[in-house]
Amino acid sequence: MVTTTACINRQRDLFDTDIFKAQAGTGTTAPTSEDTSLETEDSNTLLTVTTSKTDKSVQVTHTIATTIGDGNAYSEQEIQLNSGSTMANRIVHEPLTKGANDEFTYITNFYFMSA
């Protein structure tokens, strides 16, 4: 069996429509597939994201402006689906301390493929 590109891109479109917001936090526990929220979220970073689609993929951009979260050492980020009730992903990275003049941008790519 072969899944057509049209079907894969339909799945991509449905996923893109369901993307809600993204948020950063300061937790450091490794992510798992059972995660349902950030370990230590910063609600000030719960922001609308921008998305762009290409063939079989969606890119999500989450920008934390210079006016948000100064002094926090961000180390985790999530993308939320379905009006915030479902976590799409969670990443954990080395802590990055945000200064007053810093803008942080997370860029996440989701790829859709057939098995």
**Which own/partner pairs from 68-71 qualify as long-range (CB within 8 Å, at least 24 positions apart)?**
68/44, 69/24, 69/42, 69/44, 69/45, 69/98, 69/104, 70/98, 70/99, 70/100, 70/102, 71/97, 71/98, 71/99
pLDDT of residue 3: 92
pLDDT of residue 114: 83
Whole-prediction pTM value?
0.93
Q: What is the pLDDT along the chain (115 residues), one digit of tens a residue?
A: 899 999 999 999 999 999 999 999 999 999 999 999 999 999 999 999 999 999 999 999 999 999 999 999 999 999 999 888 899 999 999 999 999 999 999 999 999 998 7
pLDDT of residue 115: 73
pLDDT of residue 72: 97
